Amino acid sequence: MEKGHNPPPYPGPQADQPNMSYPGQPPAYQPQPGLGYPNLPTQQDAMTSASVAQAVQPVYAVVTQVIALPRHLTDVPGEMKCPHCQQQVVSETKYVNGALTWTICGSLGIFLIWPFCLIPFCVDACKDVEHHCSNCKSNVYLYKRM
């Protein structure tokens, strides 16, 4: 097969468009006069500025704002603000069968390891985790393993 100089056809507009103009290179940086580094201070200037700096000291105010970001709950209890009762609580966890539990069970059954297909229902690491509020007992979050 002989190679040609033309590229293979692509859908869309052609790359060789004679009326298309491309922006040129940006101009080089030109320093503006009077905005450069100041001259080094003399001994007299240093003594004058030191006395002025001692006379007027700036006052800085530190403003802090506490933002409560939602934490990602996993398989361990976590501290959070309950959206139902608006209390700051540590969640209670409950393990429930989820997609990962059933997938492992089905995989073991398909591979004819049927005596072991009930093991995922006994292992908490295979189950999803429901988080409940310790105050009002409402469901707050469901951590899915899969």
pLDDT per residue as tens digits for the range 57-90: 666 666 665 444 445 788 999 999 999 999 999 9
What does the alpha-carbon distance between residue 75 and residue 93 come to, in Å, rounded to a whole number? Answer: 8
Residue 98 inside a domain? The answer is yes
| Host domain of residue 115 | 79-143
- Residue 73 confidence (pLDDT): 87
- Residue 32 confidence (pLDDT): 62
- More confident position, 60 or 109: 109
Count Cβ atoms below 10 Å from residue 137 Cβ, excluding itself: 11
- Residue 114 confidence (pLDDT): 84
- Residue 69 confidence (pLDDT): 42
Q: Is the pLDDT confidence value at 145 over 80?
A: yes
Residue 13 inside a domain? The answer is no
- Residue 112 — pLDDT band, cuts 50, 70, 90? confident
- Residue 68 confidence (pLDDT): 47
Residue 96 inside a domain? The answer is yes
Report the pLDDT averaged over residues 35-41: 57
What does the alpha-carbon distance between residue 70 and residue 111 come to, in Å, rounded to a whole number? Answer: 41
- Residue 23 — pLDDT band, cuts 50, 70, 90? low
Residue 73 inside a domain? The answer is no
Instruction: Please tell me the total count of domains within the chain.
Output: 1
Which distant-in-sequence residues (6+ apart) come within 8 Å of 50 by Cβ? none
- Residue 72 confidence (pLDDT): 78
Residue 120 inside a domain? The answer is yes
3-class secondary-structure state, position 50? helix
DSSP 109: H
- Residue 115 confidence (pLDDT): 85
Residue 36 inside a domain? The answer is no
